[in-house]
Amino acid sequence: MSLRDRWTSTLDQLRAQGRYRQFALPRGIDFTSNDYLGYATLPNPSAPDLSRSGAASRLLRGHHEVWEQVESTLATWHGAESVLMMSSGYTANEGLISTLIEPGDWVATDELNHACIVDGLRLARCRRYSFRHNDLNQLKEGLKAEAARNESERERFIITESLFSMDGDRPPLREIAQLAERYGAHLIVDEAHATGCFGAAGSGCVDAAGVRDQVLASVHTGGKALAVPGAYIVASKLLREYLVNRCRHLIFTTALPPAVGAWWLEAIQRVQGDQVSREKLHANSAGCRSELGRHGVHAEGTNYIIPVIVGDDARAVAAAVRLQEQGFDVRAIRPPSVAPGTARLRVSVHADHEPRVLGQLAQAIADALSHA
Ligand SMILES: Cc1ncc(COP(=O)(O)O)c(C=O)c1O
């Protein structure tokens, strides 16, 4: 089979399965992006003195004092020792995990953890224990069995997201931190969807749950609620130093542009003081759920990511297309982003949605499901 045949046969297969993907321009009111606080459409802060490219790795000439300022502001926000900027959440998770975890180490990972966590674990070539989503009993069983092996030179880790991207639910972080402590495991938390939206100053679920000291590292992206390019890792000074020396995803890539550092400084200042948007976000999330319920639509989870499970891939796509035709930009999420048989509409509620529109959306979803 030629390379071309291989590609076309895979693409044909995806089409036949209803899993073919293509870019689609935004259509209608945004109920799909991760712009939870409504910052993505604000004007860019201008940074005329800062260059528009890092033009080198941060370990070479790509470093700039703006990043020192961003990192120290972020560390203060989290009440943590230090922060390390990375170019994206994907590379932050993959880089952190593959640098920190070594072959032979054991990692308990929630079965719904994001692709970049999965890829980090693959690169780490460690032993993986995938536990059922948010199932603390199964996590505990695994930890207990692993601790009983008593291999003191092997390290144990637990990795979870703090708000799951496609299911919109949150794990009990305090209980997980307690299990980690009890069984001598290190806890890593991906805060991609929670950063900006939880806690008194918006720094995420780890801080809101009061478990910062029990977390080895947390990963935060700018690309969602903060609406800035890039991501960062919160860690001890020593771990930061180790990553700067060993993390290939940092060493062998161009630094973020200094001008983007100015965007970060503005975003951090804005989000810290923006309790109003956080309250609107959570109120809209509750409002959207209750409207869906009123229209007989079952919605999972309890947060602003609201999955409406459809099941069949093609039916989920048909429902999304119908919603888009009515002016609601809701997208279908299909395998491999979610498990086969659980294709869904993923409704992403934002702080700046009008409550009246949430009612119209719920009605439109009920309609779309009955026609799909
Ligand atoms: C849970 C989770 N972690 C990490 C990432 C990656 O973040 P970024 O988009 O900044 O690469 C995403 C984004 O899709 C995500 O949903």
User: How far is ligand 1, taken at its centre, from the CA of residue 144, in Å?
Assistant: 30
Q: Is 190 in the pocket of ligand 1 (CB under 6 A)?
A: yes
State which H helix or E strand residue 179 sits in. Answer: helix 173-182
- For residue 300, what pLDDT is reported? 79
Residues of the chain by 3-state class (helix, strand, coil), percent to 5: 45, 15, 40
Q: pLDDT category, 353, cuts 50, 70, 90?
A: very high
Q: pLDDT category, 152, cuts 50, 70, 90?
A: confident
Count of C-beta atoms within a 10 Å radius of residue 165: 22
List b or e across 39-67, with b for residues whose CB sees 16 or more CB atoms inside 10 angstroms: bbeeeeeebeebeeebeeebeeebebebb
User: How far is ligand 1, taken at its centre, from the CA of residue 88, in Å?
Assistant: 8
Q: Is 192 in the pocket of ligand 1 (CB under 6 A)?
A: yes
- For residue 18, what pLDDT is reported? 85
Q: Render pLDDT for 304-319 as a digit per residue (tens, 0 to 9).
A: 999 999 999 999 999 9
Q: What is the mean pLDDT of the chain?
A: 96
Q: Render pLDDT for 88-144 as a digit per residue (tens, 0 to 9).
A: 999 999 999 999 999 999 999 999 999 999 999 999 999 999 999 999 999 999 999
Nearest CA to ligand 1 atom 3: 192
Q: pLDDT category, 54, cuts 50, 70, 90?
A: confident
What is the spatial distance between Cα 36 and Cα 349, in angstroms, rounded to a whole number?
7
- For residue 48, what pLDDT is reported? 84
% of the chain at pLDDT higher than 90: 92
